[in-house]
Structure 1
Amino acid sequence: MADTPVTTIVFLLFPGITQLDFTAPAQALSRMPGAVLAGVAATPVPIATDSGFAIVPTHDFASAPQADILCVPGGHGVADALRDAATIDFLTRQAAGAAWITSVCTGAFLLGRAGLLTGKRATTHWGYTHLLPLVGATHQPGRVVEDGRIVTAGGVTSGLDFALTLIARLQGEAVAQAIQLAIEYDPAPPFAGGHPDRAPAAVTAGLKARAYDAAAARMETALRV
């Protein structure tokens, strides 16, 4: 509709991003009436994701529009992005004018490095929740955690839950439910094991040993610098 207010949604992009952290909420939010999405990176060159393909930003930091909703995805590239002063400065400037400040997965740590999670309840991927106090946050279990204008989501697929939750806050449950139906988000996973609370202990232990113990240690090192 012509009189629908524009909502500018800015996603931070960086090398090593987990593509679904970005593309899942972007898919849902792009269907919200009035939504205009921007994928913003330090430079406008293609950004390598963790899935073997690249994403082309729509803007660089200098040309980015002011966000109404600022969203920071996660990924293994977060540890490097934490050390990039231009990235943190961009988040700080954008957050000052944003109505909503959000993250998916380990993107929470970039919000934290920018000082945006101090004293807040937050969540992130289960493999990293123990590190949230390093950025001044208190871990609250949940796929989506709201604390004022700060909304954080758990790991990867939680981005869809976050997007639909925020759409409901902004435009009502009927709009959010219609978008959920349009994208046929009706999860019925083949295994009841998407979180350590429900996964077999041996599966969780094996995955932590293969991937997340080392990844969390690398994140901790970056956070303590």
Structure 2
Amino acid sequence: MHVQIALFDGFDPLDVIAPFEVLHAGGLFAAGAVTVALASVEGARDVPSGTGSLSLRATEVLDTSRADVILVPGASGRVEERNEGDDTIPKILGRTLETRLPDVLREACTDPELIVATVCGGSLVLAMAGLIEGRHAVTHHLGMDLLDATGVVAVDARVVDDGDLVTAAGVTSGLDLGLYLLERELGPRIAHAVEQMFAHERRGTVWRPRGLEPTTI
């Protein structure tokens, strides 16, 4: 299973590094059954994050024919504009729509064999591009109203599994997303080994659109 984590200008570093480390460790425990790489639609380049001067290097082009999983992070920045010209998270996410990223994600979302995963505001990139209308998803709690406004069925859970779309909430949920993907695709023993190594227990129930609906109590 090859995972590509999509980098774009202004990405949130923890949205990227947390699942990268978890998935990389899963590959070590699974004798190379998982590989993970940082990618961008422009190919190999240094990509500036939205956190200070921190950049990460994309080592390959984001390519649906190469990936089994494409993971989209959110952005890092101010939530609301305080001074004119502030580079806010909505502005950063909006700029992704002017790149080739939505085209690649559109292709990914139409391939049932390819998993699209997101952390934090990554699901907003998909939603703003009109790619997940009617699907179940989660984002950072401050973006849930926007997710709902785009026609997405917003679910307040740590991780939401809607088949070939798996989304996670706030930034630290990238750890839980990575562990869940390992469990789902490789089995619980690999996920448990990584969980023990990282000394991190997954939080919350993974929400899926199945089973009995709870009644009001």
TM-score normalized with structure 1 length: 0.73
CA distance in 1, matches of 2:39, 2:55: 14
For residues 151 and 186 of structure 1, the distance between their equivalents in structure 2, rounded to whole angstroms, comes to: 19
Q: Tell me the secondary structure at the aligned position of residue 166 of structure 1.
A: helix
Question: Where do 1:135-154 residues align within 5 Å?
Answer: 135-154=150-169
Corresponding residue of 1:53: 54
The aligned counterpart of 2:38 is: 39
Number of aligned pairs? 179
5 Å matches for 1:1-225?
7-32=1-26, 33=30, 34-43=33-42, 44-51=44-51, 52-61=53-62, 66-75=66-75, 76=89, 77-84=92-99, 86-97=100-111, 98-186=113-201
Q: How many Å separate the matches in 1 of 2:175 and 2:71?
A: 13
TM-score normalised to structure 2 length: 0.76
* CA distance in structure 2 between the partners assigned to 1:64 and 1:122 by the alignment: 21
Structure with greater proportional helix content: 1
CA distance in 2, matches of 1:142, 1:83: 30
CA distance in 1, matches of 2:74, 2:155: 18
- Any gaps of 5 or more consecutive residues in structure 2? 76-88, 203-217
Cα distance in 2, alignment partners of residues 60 and 80 from structure 1: 19
* Superposition deviation, residue 50 in structure 1: 2.5
- Output the CA distance in 2 between the equivalents of 1:133 and 1:82: 19
Distance 1:142 1:12, change over 3 A: same
Shift of 1:95: 3.4
Local SS of the residue matching 2:142: coil
Q: Percent identity?
A: 30
Query: Match of 1:46, SS?
Result: strand
Say whether the 8 Å CA contact 1:120–1:147 is kept in structure 2: yes
Output one character per residue of 1:200-219: Cα deviation in whole Å (capped at 9) or x when no partner: xxxxxxxxxxxxxxxxxxxx
Q: Secondary structure of 2:195's partner?
A: helix
Please report how far the alpha carbon of residue 132 of structure 1 lies from its aligned counterpart in structure 2 after TM superposition: 0.8
Distance 2:64 2:148 in 1: 31
**1:72–1:157: structure 2 CA closer, same or farther, 3 Å change rule?**
same
